[in-house]
Structure 1
């Protein structure tokens, strides 16, 4: 019995050496060890915890939790696709994000049933893909369907990366209409009911992917794909309405911003000529830390990795002027 007790203590001691000593007791996974696309941070003030959602698959939406953005919990399930779900019980989940609205938590995520809906101008199939919203009483879930198994993006369109924007108290879904159908992808918006149910209004286009500042073709090539990804809206401290979005430039994933010239969601929108990040990083969003720092969360690919894969990175940003900038000497967590 004494031998078992000593062995157990030795095992606990060795384990403690393997875990970084500044890691919180329940948050032992360094952010550098996490591989994740489209990392979205929900900073929940009710429990001073950061929740990180992203893209995954196999019929679940997963989440990590952290107290300091450096060390994270194991993943846990916040939503499980039902057998009867329109995308199936093993559906993928892309670009999951959570917003608090009228005291409840709403999960936005994109799914795909793998079945073609039609063909584009190049004769290629485009998939049935849509964003749907789910509700819960906690950012930890469990989230549930409240729209009778109906997605929120327009029927017949392949759509993804839906996000929430509130303008004058009215909720809108902002989303990407994929290039897979229309070639020149767009970012669109549609007014939501007050309960965030399925829209009854028609959507409207905000801008096209070919408006990216680096696109040289004019008019755009009708058979070339122009990608819209990862829309996220914000206001600068001066009140200017902006949007983060991503696309591809010469084979690299990039992050950029557009700004509404009217200050309203309907625009017109003008692209910032200077990209925010152009070295294989993007799908960004903004959040504020519990000590008041504005941070950009996005995924990036470190070319120095032995097996380069998408990882989360958090970069301090500055929105005090008329445009968002990344702080040159600011905090970076990766």
Structure 2
């Protein structure tokens, strides 16, 4: 099938053995109804895809019931680990870890429980390994805290548990570009802001970037923050303008099979119209910039 035939949000690309594996939010309606699972598509050129292959289907008595969102698959310790977010009645949205021996799955529960803090509405956990330290960076939702937050928590080496207290990296209002929204608490105040889709990437220069999305003046947008220390804990300095605009976002960076760094994202931010797109990206003295045409 063609790339434009695939309905997908929150795309994540894994390059392995000369192939591209495309994961993402693939339920036909990820907002309402029972969650189905996550599919994966396979390609050699990013345009023609085989699939869908059922990478994850919830096992019996799995706690998550709906909002199966934003899977990422990381190669770690000789296996494949899927990080994804779920929700259920009476259970906060949370990120859990799954394991498989193949990028096609099937992915089975790995961590016995979600790795985001109990009682927090959280989503979009992403894995980042820094030397001997293993981190998960995730969002605490604006629907609970109004000013959306991005946190980091250390993980055990086996990815089974969170270790220690999470560290606040920043709030949405620390950047200038996210647009204020009305709070969900009935107060009528318009000071809420979204954090969504964090992804960390260390550029060729050694700078550590954090990509994240929010709602801005043109709809869904993606901004960039740079760690002043080059470490996950920051402090994080925001670029004044978003890198992606025009209802584009939830992005990650991957290296193409011919060695080019590219940005994967979905556009538009409307179900069922969302599709996977990509564009080449490069690092300059001024930071990240888009290069070439959108695919």
In the superposition, the TM-score normalised over structure 1's length comes to 0.80
Partner of residue 66 from structure 1, selected from 43, 48, 61: 43
What value does the CA root-mean-square deviation take over the aligned residues?
A: 2.1
Q: How far apart are 1:215 and its partner, in Å?
A: 5.1
Q: State the alpha-carbon separation in 2 of the partners of residues 277 and 225 from structure 1.
A: 21
Per the TM alignment, residue 302 of structure 1 is displaced from its structure 2 partner at its CA by: 9.0
Contact 2:111 2:159 (C-alpha < 8 Å) held by counterparts = no
Mapped pair 1:277 → 2:244: yes
Q: Which runs of 5+ in 1 are unaligned?
A: 1-28, 118-127
> Post-superposition shift, 1:257?
0.2
Is the 8 Å Cα contact of residues 60 and 92 (structure 1) preserved in structure 2? no
Whether 1:41 aligns to 2:13 is yes
Q: Which secondary structure does the structure 2 equivalent of 1:210 belong to?
A: helix
Alignment map for 1:1-334 (pairs within 5 Å):
29-44=1-16, 46=17, 48-57=18-27, 58-88=35-65, 91-113=66-88, 115-116=89-90, 128-148=92-112, 150-214=113-177, 224-250=191-217, 252-301=219-268, 309-321=273-285, 323-327=287-291, 330=292, 332-333=294-295
Once structures 1 and 2 are overlaid, which stretch shifts more, 294-303 or 130-139? 294-303
SS of 1:201's equivalent in the other structure is strand
Greater Cα shift, 73-82 or 178-187: 73-82
The CA deviation at 1:200 is: 3.0
Deviation (angstroms), 1:247: 0.2
Q: Partners in 2 of 1:56 and 1:215 — Cα distance?
A: 26
Distance 1:225 1:316, change over 3 A: same
Structure 1 residues 86 and 215: CA distance shift in structure 2, 3 A: closer
- Distance apart, 1:168 and its partner CA: 1.8
Cα distance, 1:93 vs structure 2: 1.7
Q: Which is helix-richer, 1 or 2?
A: 1
**1:116: how far off?**
4.6
CA deviations on 1:287-316 (whole Å, 9 max, x unpaired) are: 00111011100001299xxx9821111100
Please state whether the residue corresponding to 1:54 is helix, strand or coil.
strand
SS in 2 for 1:181: helix
Distance 1:34 1:144 in 2: 24
Deviation at 1:223, TM superposition (A): 5.7
Cα distance per residue 1:43-67 (max 9 Å; x no partner): 11x3x11011111343311111111
Distance 1:225 1:251, change over 3 A: farther
Distance in 2, Cα, partners of 1:319 & 1:195 = 33
Offset of 1:235 from its aligned partner? 1.4
* Aligned-partner Cα distance in 2 for 1:291–1:320: 20
Change in CA separation of 1:315 and 1:193 when aligned onto 2, cut-off 3 Å: same
TM-superposition CA deviations, 1:210-246 (whole Å, max 9, x none): 11222588xx997632100010001121111111100
Counterpart Cα distance in 1 of 2:46 and 2:81: 22
Segments of structure 2 that go 5 or more residues without pairing to the other structure are 28-34
Return the TM-score normalized by structure 2.
0.90
Aligned equivalents of 2:51 and 2:205: distance in 1?
A: 39
Q: Which entry has the higher C-alpha Rg, 1 or 2?
A: 1
Alpha-carbon shift at residue 145 of structure 1 (Å): 1.0
Does structure 2 retain, via aligned residues, the 8 Å contact 1:237–1:320? no
- Structure 1 pair 215–54 and aligned structure 2 pair: CA distance change class (3 A): closer
1:250 deviation in Å?
Answer: 3.2
SS class of match (1:99): strand
Instruction: Give the paired residue count.
Output: 282
Q: Which residue of 1 aligns with 2:31?
A: none
C-alpha distance in 2, partners of 1:156/1:302?
28
